[in-house]
């Protein structure tokens, strides 16, 4: 397959609509619709969603841009700092965007005290992973983040790059993120819309970033310095997210003081009740059964 699609859908004067921009915006549009439905189903105030959208859009763009600057080309950008502002030229890093979104959600939940951080994160992972899948399709339209050469039948020749058949890693990665979104949604519905707070976030981080680590083996390195690393930058940055995801999946957020602040009162109450019940069960001394007591008394009378 030869891929040579124009990056621009149309141009009117200085304005050009690109496939990447369209898919980026589509991710936020669908995400807003999904989270609005979730809020309505759980009887939460949808009025806060306009503010939430602003937090997410700003955090995604600023975080992804700074992530690329700091992790991939710091010396070039620090030598020409004004280039950092030219987002339209490309250069966004998903790890930076994801981190900035988490920070933005902390700030949002401080302002809206009736919404807990982990409750919100669990539900947002569904549209966030969907949006990540759409963005990777945008990368495919841009003929960027290309794969290594291969002779597989579904190999793609990115004519704007060269005439070498390559892995369509953008599509691989997109499918993984879309599948992650579907799995998280299925878990959410299977738990009757009341999953243990933080576990869906942990699951999404494990699945999404583990998939990223795997797919990176089929990608070309984005920067030359990555060739001397044991793993490329995308893999190295993904490992901490997988570990944090495991921590959340197994309930670590209930055991660390500052993380407990991100849990709702209902989640904390349920967790504390379970802890007390378990503690009582393990600390209670073994008492002989009533039947055993009667047997011993019977033996004494017979003697």
pLDDT at 198: 95
125 confidence band (pLDDT: 50, 70, 90): very high
For helices 19-41 and 117-141, the axis angle rounded to 10 degrees is 160
Report helix, strand or coil for 30.
Answer: helix
pLDDT at 112: 94
Report helix, strand or coil for 44.
Answer: coil
pTM: 0.86
**Tokens 């904390």 sit on residue:** 268
pLDDT for 237-286, tens place per residue?
999 999 999 999 999 999 999 999 999 998 898 766 665 555 555 555 55
DSSP, res 152: -
Start-end of H helices in the chain: 19-41, 49-71, 74-79, 94-111, 117-141, 169-190, 199-216, 233-249, 257-260, 265-283, 290-302
pLDDT at 263: 93
Beta bridge partners of 219: 147
pLDDT for 161-211, tens place per residue?
999 999 999 999 999 999 999 999 999 999 999 999 999 999 999 999 999
Q: What are phi and psi of 258, to 5 degrees?
A: -70, -25
Phi-psi label, residue 280: left if phi above 0, alpha if psi -120 to 50, beta otherwise: alpha
pLDDT at 86: 86
Q: What are phi and psi of 166, to 5 degrees?
A: -135, 160
Written as one string, the DSSP assignment of 276-295 is HHHHHHHHSPP---HHHHHH
pLDDT at 48: 96
Spatial separation of the C-alpha atoms in residues 35 and 15, rounded to whole Å: 31
Whether 134 has a pLDDT exceeding 90, the answer reads yes
- For the stretch 264-267, contacts whose Cβ atoms lie closer than 8 Å and that sit 24 or more positions apart, written own/partner, are 264/116, 264/118, 264/119, 264/197, 267/116, 267/118, 267/119, 267/196, 267/197
pLDDT for 69-82, tens place per residue?
999 989 889 988 89
Q: For residue 132, with 0-12 CB atoms within 10 Å meaning exposed, 13-18 middle and 19 or more buried, which class applies?
A: buried
Spatial separation of the C-alpha atoms in residues 208 and 139, rounded to whole Å: 17
């Amino acid at each position: 397959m030869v891929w040579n699609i124009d990056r621009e859908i149309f141009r009117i004067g200085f304005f050009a609509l690109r496939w990447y921009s369209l898919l980026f915006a589509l991710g936020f549009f669908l995400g807003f619709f999904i989270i609005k439905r979730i809020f309505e189903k759980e009887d939460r105030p949808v009025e806060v969603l306009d503010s939430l959208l602003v937090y997410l859009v700003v955090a995604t763009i600023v975080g992804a841009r700074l992530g690329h600057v700091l992790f991939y080309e710091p010396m070039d950008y620090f030598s020409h700092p004004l280039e950092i502002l030219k987002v339209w030229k490309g250069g966004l890093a998903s790890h930076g965007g994801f981190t900035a979104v988490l920070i933005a959600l902390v700030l949002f939940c401080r302002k809206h005290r009736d919404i807990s951080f982990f409750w919100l994160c669990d539900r947002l992972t569904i549209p966030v992973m969907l949006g990540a899948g759409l963005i990777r399709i945008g990368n495919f339209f841009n003929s960027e983040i290309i794969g290594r050469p291969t002779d597989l039948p579904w190999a793609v020749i990115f004519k704007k790059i060269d005439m070498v058949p390559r892995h369509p890693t953008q599509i691989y990665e997109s499918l993984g993120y879309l599948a992650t979104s579907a799995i998280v949604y299925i878990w959410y519905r299977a738990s009757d819309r009341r999953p243990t707070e933080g576990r869906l976030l942990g699951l999404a981080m494990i699945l999404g970033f583990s998939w990223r680590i795997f797919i990176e083996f089929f990608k070309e390195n984005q920067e030359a310095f990555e060739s001397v690393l044991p793993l490329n930058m995308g893999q190295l940055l993904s490992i901490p997210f997988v570990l944090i995801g495991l921590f959340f999946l197994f309930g670590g957020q209930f055991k660390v003081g500052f993380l407990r602040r991100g849990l709702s009162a209902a989640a904390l109450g349920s967790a504390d009740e379970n802890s007390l019940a378990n503690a009582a069960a393990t600390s209670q001394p073994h008492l002989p059964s009533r039947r055993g007591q009667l047997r011993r008394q019977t033996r004494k009378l017979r003697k």
